[in-house]
Amino acid sequence: MKVFNTLSKTKQEFVPLEENKVKMYVCGPTVYNFIHIGNARPMIVFDTVRRYFEYKGYDVNFVSNFTDVDDKIIKRAIEEGVSSEEISKRYIAECKKDMEGMNIKPATKHPLATEEIDGMIEMIGQLIEKGFAYEKNGTVYFRTRKFGEYGKLSHKNLDDLRSGERSLLVTGEDEKEDALDFVLWKPKKEGEPFWESPWSQGRPGWHIECSVMSKKYLGEQIDIHAGGEDLVFPHHENEIAQSEAANGKEFSKYWMHNAFLNIDNHKMSKSLGNFRTVREISGQYDLQVLRFFMLSAHYRSPLNFSADLMEASKSGLERIVNAADHLKFLTGNAKSETMTEAEKALFGKTGEFVEGFEHAMEDDFNTADAVAAVFELVKYINTNTDEGSSKEYLGKMLDLLKKLTDVLGLIVDRKEEILDSDIEELIRERQEARKAKDFARADAIRDELLEKGIILKDTREGVQWKRA
């Protein structure tokens, strides 16, 4: 299996640290809002990478954090007049709902930065002891120049970085020994959440969080560290410096980065107002369509989000789901049980589609080609099954289709249609629950309906609903 490694800028054969095991860490979102479709790209891509390793029989330990202490979270908390914890808890819960909709498997562990502060204080202490960090007025900085390999991931030349030193200076950090030094621990400002430490009451820097959480849940050395390409520098470069300086070992063997998701050919950003949340998309499409859309491109190619491409993805997915439906329909009406010799021969030929699929995935997870192989299988199924097919043959075809689509995280079973009368009944029940102040039940009903594609809107005239 070949994996493109940002460290070497080449596709390399994947050799795990431990036989049949993969230790993988993916940098997760900062939780101050609903996640946007850009954040969804690494989630979908690396969930698919994980699923392929599992398909190949690897035992995958998959860790992905939530950054739950950050300036943006604090700002949002102040705006709303609530605690930072309330903001992060709320958006972690919302993020998990979106992940479920996109059929992203929960990680083996989703650590929260705020629950790992002791480990961070410990690693910062080790770095100070080894001379890789120093304290100034309650702030601790990493001594970047001391880490000789700094720049090896982003392939930045230290001299270039030095000549651009001024752009790296952050206001209030002029006490640093060197402009390239970055913060490991910073003192609190009025009203901010803080923890006790030997240096000040304060909070950790963002980079140290991942170094510590990765070490705690996966060990000092891991197979794959991943995230969006904007994280290569400085986040991942700094993680390498911290982890390798503290542990004295290579941190991660492979570094994988997804390219960005643009929108209508522009960079997606809040300031441009072209920002779309996953939740908004879920009002228009089943999130499986979003997943299919993301996988229709190679993860290292920029991808443009547009209404046309989403429509194309919707019909692409529909073709696969229709084939599965057709197989189920034929199975229900099949007259014979066991495969004939001719069917055995026909089924034998599906091996070439599996090969095509695996070949694409082994080539640095080329999901675009893997999807093409699934389409070929679908075409083959449609032309080689009919009312005369045996149950066994139809069943094998369906199992194979599901086996491959499951690697891509695509669900081919059509969602159960819900009747209008059942919707009305659930809405009535939700109103009762609200009256009884049982908000958990009321929310659960809203989520259950959302899962079935029903969107509720509370208006002055009462509850209105529509199908997504």
Q: Site for ligand AMP (CB under 6 A): which residue of 42, 101, 151, 202? A: 42
Q: Site for ligand AMP (CB under 6 A): which residue of 151, 204, 205, 228? A: 228
Write down the least CB distance from residue 231 to ligand AMP, Å.
Answer: 5
Residues numbered 407-466 forming contacts with ligand AMP, rule: CB under 6 A: none
Q: Does 208 bind Zn ion (CB under 5 A)?
A: no
Q: How far apart are CA 353 and CA 378, in angstroms?
A: 10
Write down the least CB distance from residue 235 to Zn ion, Å.
Answer: 6
Q: Which residues contact 378 (CB under 8 A, 6 or more apart)?
A: 319, 320, 323, 401
Q: How far apart are CA 399 and CA 401, in angstroms?
A: 5
In this structure, the strands spanning 454-459 and 303-305 are unpaired
The separation between the first and the last C-alpha atoms of the chain, rounded to the nearest angstrom, is: 39
Q: Does 234 bind ligand AMP (CB under 6 A)?
A: no
Question: What, of ligand AMP, Zn ion, none, does residue 210 touch, CB below 5 to 8 Å by kind?
Answer: Zn ion
Q: Site for Zn ion (CB under 5 A): which residue of 27, 31, 218, 373? A: 27
Q: Does 227 bind ligand AMP (CB under 6 A)?
A: yes
Q: Does 225 bind ligand AMP (CB under 6 A)?
A: no
Nearer to Zn ion, 27 or 35 (CB): 27
Nearer to ligand AMP, 41 or 215 (CB): 41
Nearer to Zn ion, 63 or 321 (CB): 63
Write down the least CB distance from residue 28 to Zn ion, Å.
Answer: 8
Q: How far apart are CA 125 and CA 345, in angstroms?
A: 66
Q: Does 111 bind ligand AMP (CB under 6 A)?
A: no
Q: Site for ligand AMP (CB under 6 A): which residue of 39, 61, 313, 367? A: 39
Nearer to ligand AMP, 221 or 274 (CB): 274
Q: Which residues pair with 141 in a beta bridge?
A: 134, 183
Sign of the dihedral defined by the CA atoms of residues 457, 459, 463, 465, in that order: negative
Q: Which residue is nearest to ligand AMP (CB)?
A: 228
Applying CB under 6 A, which part among 156-164, 260-268, 311-319, 358-366 lies near ligand AMP? 260-268
Q: Does 38 bind ligand AMP (CB under 6 A)?
A: yes
Q: How far apart are CA 363 and CA 402, in angstroms?
A: 22
Contact present, 135 and 177 (Cβ < 8 Å): no
Token pair recorded at residue 33:
């809002």
Nearer to ligand AMP, 226 or 407 (CB): 226
Range 70-78, long-range pairs (CB < 8 A, 24+ positions): 70/30, 70/32, 70/206, 72/30, 72/32, 73/30, 73/31, 73/32, 74/191, 74/192, 74/193, 75/32, 76/32, 76/33, 78/191
Q: Site for ligand AMP (CB under 6 A): which residue of 22, 23, 29, 297? A: 29
Token pair recorded at residue 169:
């200076």
Q: Does 261 bind ligand AMP (CB under 6 A)?
A: yes
Q: Which amino acid is at 450?
A: L
Q: Does 63 bind ligand AMP (CB under 6 A)?
A: no
Q: Does 30 bind ligand AMP (CB under 6 A)?
A: yes
What is the maximum alpha-carbon separation in the chain?
A: 82
Angle between helices 287-295 and 307-333 (to 10 degrees): 110
Nearer to Zn ion, 207 or 326 (CB): 207
The site for ligand AMP (CB under 6 A) is made up of 27, 29-30, 38-39, 41-42, 227-228, 230-231, 258, 260-261, 268
The site for Zn ion (CB under 5 A) is made up of 27, 210
